[in-house]
Chains A and B, each alone.
Chain A
């Protein structure tokens, strides 16, 4: 069975990850079929950026710290939405256009918590996980730089929650 939180250089199997999240949520609830909602977010590599063709993306992670960030996000989700089990898997290495780079599955008994938690988790991942993306184009490559990774920035956490609950 797939772990709930992982960085992997292998392709992400969305169906297998959704099943793994459902199974883990059922186990946590203590009986099979307890899960009634699986809210899945799949981020895929875009083949165009600013009008230019992307050959592929390359993801680099500081793996022990990135895994700790995924676990932290799952902990924040359990704190805010106690009935939700969260699966978070992120790719490393080369990802071709159209392929998944990240899969979030929030599993719970009912849809409302699952939907909010999955959005919150992807917003937080983008804020705090030490993972970097490099866009490789036909004529060069460049690092994408987004948020400054400070997990204790409460304003950032509040912004992720605001986006999730908007």
Chain B
């Protein structure tokens, strides 16, 4: 891993192996170095925001590079089971592109054990890793202007549940009535980074 400068108040830890992101996140969350104010995981990186009055880049980088990314497991999060009705408008197209039947797509998606890697794009939009490589397909060439809330979708190496209705370019394979995002709930996001997820029809 490398620690890159990110302005005067943050450092970005860049990993070759994306599976290390959650390991370092867990380690820094459970025992934060001095001055750390926020950790933001993403696909191959962990942003570490710090208080420049309490630490500086080089000192923080030293503390980070001393950490193991494998010794601390992400905090025990309950496994979330997401009930899905696999009737998405892109299911047939996904099946054709993956060279298998729609039933096989559903079976492979259901068989996966997923981990929420990071959130982005919109509040509560969690990128879930663990998708069967046979289902790794690019986004739609033309994004939809409106994807309904609860849509279960795939794109690249990720699967996700759209937390709100929004524009979107992912391929829609199903939908769930489980509210993955609710600002009145604590925590508002069911699929926080590190959470394990299964889909079931």
Partners in one complex: no
Task: State the B residues within 8 Å of A (CB).
Answer: none
